[in-house]
Amino acid sequence: MSEKNILTKLNKFNRREFLKTTAVSGLAFGASLTLPSWQVFAQNSSLHINRLAIPQQEKGRQEAGVKIFDLEIQDGETEFFEGIKTKTRGVNGSLLGPTLRMNNGDIVRLNVKNSIGETTTMHWHGIHLPAKYDGGPHQPIKSGEIWSPQFEIMQKAANYWYHPHLMGKTADHVWQGIAGMIIVDDEESKALSLPSEYGVDDIPLVLQDRRFERDGSMEYRPTRHDIMSGMIGDVALANGTISAYFEASTNLVRLRLLNGANASIYNLGFSDNRNFLQISTDGSMLEKPYETNSIILSPGERAEIIVDVSDKKTITLENKITSTSGSMGGGNLDFKFLEIRPADNLNTLPSIPNQLTKIDWIDESEATNTRTFMMSMQMGPMMMLGLGKSHTINGKSMKMDRIDEVVKLDTTEIWEVSNDSMLAHPFHIHLVQFQIISRNGKQPHAGERGLKDTVLIHPGETVRFIAKFETYADKKYPYMYHCHILEHEDAGMMGQFLVV
């Protein structure tokens, strides 16, 4: 069957199913039930019928030594399913946002206009910047206003991202589609011979999952259970595309993976379990490529991988179900993110270098302070009724007017984060990139030996990491640390620290 035939067939199937189910829904079911046919269509069918969307790449405009980016957060509609318009939100478009491309050392100004009719914020995840420009809960942008933070990029080459971070509303705003990637290049990364033609052999991939309702809408309506365990969808999206495929024209393909989900922890690999190379973590390249056949990415985490498709087999990037999937929200769902179809004639790219970067490893003896954090979920009946604090760090749930930790400028600290709940939690800290020292006393594996700003803490685990707090003292504005399962963050699993 030709691609066009499959397409027409599926669309017909879809429309018919849609009419059938909507006709029934008014009679027998509540409006908030999910539509089984979407699930059948998008998951059980391994047909990949939509060309992967590649976000526009924005390099900014130069004005008096400043690189300026204009971003407008807006309402829109997206046609996930042929003929069905779904209300979504995006940045400079109807869903997700452009990939912002910056260089280490750039002075950037981001003009963020809020056109969604309600207050939101814009946070620069993983970026080292002054607290008042962080875009967290203390920098609300009112509807109709423009917020223009300006700062210097001081990062190693890697992938970062931006998303709203309004107190209690982060999950909702991200779910609706407000998020985008930031790629930072530096002198070192530019000199490496890696696939680097954006959208051709160097592909940004925002991985998410969403739940669609009977009428095709994907409004944010979490149940109490969703708030406890995180809002998990049943349909996989790559750059906002459902059932996506990508035609590879080169023997090596570089994928810049971002877990942009609200709550799902993905264990990513290819349908034939082939090996690939992981070349970066959240905030840096790995010193050397790490060969593996799976990579766990929890919400907020990023990693770049290189996959070799010279055998010209069609493969699918998917969520692999493992024995620990139970404690990982979304970990046991069969998400198929992207089918990669190699062309008949593939251009051959140079092989991947053995040395990618050099990381300045911080010695534990440099730390002058150790802080401990316990991530907890209280599951008692009072909590299930929503009476009381259910998601806490060190027994406290987030309060805007309470500073939890004060870090001295120009110090190095060890943070020891534990999890006594039954679910895994990705712990994220603003401002700094850290280095993992150990997981339950053991060295982190090779894929985690890069700079990080988010780290998954499994039930019963203690992760120790070390970071330098070298700049940006501010007595007034705090930075956040929190669980990056957005429902948990909104439910209070977040704290604030000052650098003074």
| Residue 169 binding result from ligand C2O, Cu ion, none, given CB thresholds of 5 to 8 Å by partner type | none
Q: Provide the token pair at 94.
A: 């109807």
Q: Which of 128, 425, 428, 464 binds ligand C2O (CB under 6 A)?
A: 428
Q: Which of residues 183 and 340 has its CB atom nearest to ligand C2O in the complex?
A: 183
Closest CB 48 distance from Cu ion, rounded Å = 31
Q: Taking CB under 6 A as the rule, does residue 486 contact ligand C2O? A: no
Q: Which of 206, 488, 498, 499 binds Cu ion (CB under 5 A)?
A: 488
User: Do residues 299 and 321 lie in contact, with contact meaning Cβ atoms separated by under 8 Å?
Assistant: no
Q: Which of residues 231 and 414 has its CB atom nearest to Cu ion in the complex?
A: 231
Q: Which of residues 441-480 bind ligand C2O (CB under 6 A)?
A: 480
Task: Measure the CA–CA gap between 310 and 278, rounded to whole angstroms.
Answer: 18
Cα atoms in the Cβ-side hemisphere of radius 13 Å centred on 338: 29
| Contact pattern for ligand C2O over residues 161 through 190, marking x by CB under 6 A | --x-x-------------------------
Q: Which of residues 113 and 163 has its CB atom nearest to ligand C2O in the complex?
A: 163
Q: In a 3-state reduction of DSSP, which class is residue 131?
A: helix
Closest CA to 296 of 274, 312, 281: 281
Q: Provide the token pair at 367.
A: 């730390």
User: Do residues 254 and 203 lie in contact, with contact meaning Cβ atoms separated by under 8 Å?
Assistant: yes
DSSP for 458-482 reads -TT-EEEEEEEE-S--EEEEEEEEE
Sheet architecture: strand order including 180-185: 57-58, 99-103, 180-185, 158-163, 123-125
Closest CB 299 distance from Cu ion, rounded Å = 9
Closest CB 428 distance from Cu ion, rounded Å = 5
Q: Taking CB under 6 A as the rule, does residue 430 contact ligand C2O? A: yes
Q: Which of 116, 129, 178, 485 binds Cu ion (CB under 5 A)?
A: 485
| Contact pattern for ligand C2O over residues 85 through 124, marking x by CB under 6 A | --------------------------------------x-
Task: Measure the CA–CA gap between 397 and 488, rounded to whole angstroms.
Answer: 10
Q: Taking CB under 6 A as the rule, does residue 391 contact ligand C2O? A: no
Count of residues making up the chain: 500
What count of other Cβ atoms lies within 10 Å of the Cβ of residue 142? 10
Q: Which of 128, 211, 302, 425 binds Cu ion (CB under 5 A)?
A: 425
Task: Measure the CA–CA gap between 270 and 35, rounded to whole angstroms.
Answer: 28
Q: Residue 307's Cα: distance from chain center in Å?
A: 20
Q: Which residue is nearest to ligand C2O (CB)?
A: 125
Count of residues in contact with Cu ion, rule CB under 5 A: 6
Closest CB 360 distance from Cu ion, rounded Å = 22
Q: Which of 204, 269, 300, 331 binds ligand C2O (CB under 6 A)?
A: 300
Of 60-68, 84-92, 360-368, 483-491: span binding Cu ion (CB under 5 A): 483-491
Task: Measure the CA–CA gap between 198 and 204, rounded to whole angstroms.
Answer: 8
| Residue 89 binding result from ligand C2O, Cu ion, none, given CB thresholds of 5 to 8 Å by partner type | none
Q: List all residues 6 or more positions away from 460 whose beta carbon is below 8 Å from its beta carbon.
A: 419, 420
Q: Taking CB under 5 A as the rule, does residue 231 contact Cu ion? A: no
For 494, phi then psi, to 5°, come to -155, 150
Count of residues in contact with ligand C2O, rule CB under 6 A: 10
Q: Which of residues 67 and 163 has its CB atom nearest to ligand C2O in the complex?
A: 163
DSSP conformation class of 198: B
DSSP conformation class of 313: -
Residue type, 115: S
For 448, phi then psi, to 5°, come to -110, 5
Q: Taking CB under 5 A as the rule, does residue 483 contact Cu ion? A: yes
| Contact pattern for Cu ion over residues 103 through 132, marking x by CB under 5 A | ----------------------x-------
Q: Which of 67, 89, 101, 125 binds ligand C2O (CB under 6 A)?
A: 125
| Residue 300 binding result from Cu ion, ligand C2O, none, given CB thresholds of 5 to 8 Å by partner type | ligand C2O
| Residue 165 binding result from ligand C2O, Cu ion, none, given CB thresholds of 5 to 8 Å by partner type | ligand C2O
Task: Measure the CA–CA gap between 343 and 347, rounded to whole angstroms.
Answer: 9
Closest CB 375 distance from ligand C2O, rounded Å = 15
| Residue 425 binding result from Cu ion, ligand C2O, none, given CB thresholds of 5 to 8 Å by partner type | Cu ion
Closest CB 489 distance from Cu ion, rounded Å = 8
The enclosing H or E element of 173 equals helix 170-175
For the range 75-79, what are the long-range contacts, defined as Cβ-Cβ under 8 Å and sequence gap of 24 or more?
75/115, 75/116, 75/117, 76/177, 78/177, 78/240
DSSP for 275-312 reads -EEEEE-SSSEEEEEEEES-EEE-TT-EEEEEEE-TT-
For 484, phi then psi, to 5°, come to -90, 5
| Contact pattern for Cu ion over residues 258 through 297, marking x by CB under 5 A | ----------------------------------------
| Residue 483 binding result from Cu ion, ligand C2O, none, given CB thresholds of 5 to 8 Å by partner type | Cu ion
Q: Which residues pair with 436 in a beta bridge?
A: 465
Binding stretches for Cu ion (CB under 5 A): 125, 425, 430, 483, 485, 488
Binding interface with ligand C2O (CB under 6 A)? 123, 125, 163, 165, 300, 428, 430, 480, 482, 484
